Amino acid sequence: MKNSSDSNLRSWVLVIGILFILSIIALAVIYAIQQSTLRAQQLLQPVTDMTGSLGTQVSQVLNPTPTIIPDPITIIQEIRALARLETIQYTVEKVITAETGQGTFGFLFGDRLLFVAHGIVIAGIDMGKLGPEHLQIREGVLYVTLPPAELFIATLDNEKSYVYDRDTGALTKGDVNLETSARQAAEQEIAKAALEDGILEMARQNGESYLYRLFMSLGYQEVIFVQPTPTP
């Protein structure tokens, strides 16, 4: 019985020893795999960083961000003293169609855009053109001949103006000057629309109303505005 017990004990010791050895080997293998994975990640990290950097550079080339660099040198061309009495302002919206190459092969070489233009038109009277000969006093009455009303500003509001749609042919990248031409035409059309709506007449009336109150506050008994004789 003693020999049998010793034999069983040795068998259990052998089994436990084998299991212990296998556990150590498994831990060593797991550790080696972890270390190998870590080294592989460290080796691949520069490649990953380079790939990410290259992707960013390619994206910047394909979709560049515009950089605005103003010239530090300012050249003043002209200085003028202004005495403009602004009496009315118009806000005008126009839709401009600009196109080029819209012939038989327009679908290949044509370019067409719709430009929504928001513009501001300001009119009034240039008081710098008012001289002593335009003011006469007779029996306490002031007779005033004002210079004709004129447009001072007809310009686009760039924050509100935009290209609504653009259609270019299959074999062209479009005319780089087309939007510029549309903007120039838009300014002309905005000024034209204001003139057709009678902005100058309203500017004259508003100017006379303002100056009437001004002259009366200076002590004149009456103020009469004389319309200038039209030039043939």
Question: Do 56 and 165 have their domain in common?
Answer: no
Question: Do 125 and 29 have their domain in common?
Answer: no
Mean pLDDT, range 70-77, rounded to an integer: 65
- Mean of the per-residue pLDDT values for the chain? 76
Mean pLDDT, range 36-40, rounded to an integer: 61
Question: Do 138 and 45 have their domain in common?
Answer: no
Both tokens of 34, joined, read 């972890």
Question: Do 93 and 206 have their domain in common?
Answer: yes
- Which pLDDT tens digit goes with each residue over 143-163? 999 999 999 999 999 899 998
Tell me which amino acid residue 81 is: A
Question: Do 192 and 103 have their domain in common?
Answer: yes
Whether residue 70 is contained in a domain is answered as no
Q: Please give the DSSP secondary-structure letter assigned to residue 165.
A: E
* Whole-number pLDDT of residue 74: 61
Question: Do 133 and 22 have their domain in common?
Answer: no
Sequence-distant (6+) residues with CB within 8 A of 94 are 116, 117, 119, 186, 189, 190, 193
Whether residue 71 is contained in a domain is answered as no
For residue 227, name the pLDDT band (cuts at 50, 70, 90): confident
Both tokens of 63, joined, read 């979709």
- Bin 101: left if φ > 0, else alpha if -120 < ψ < 50, else beta: left
* Whole-number pLDDT of residue 75: 67
Question: Do 135 and 211 have their domain in common?
Answer: yes
Range of the domain at 109: 84-225
Cα angle 225-228-232, degrees, rounded to a multiple of 5: 165
Ranked by mean pLDDT, which of 18-32, 44-58, 134-148, 172-186 comes out on top? 134-148
Whether residue 145 is contained in a domain is answered as yes
Question: Do 89 and 36 have their domain in common?
Answer: no
Question: Do 196 and 109 have their domain in common?
Answer: yes
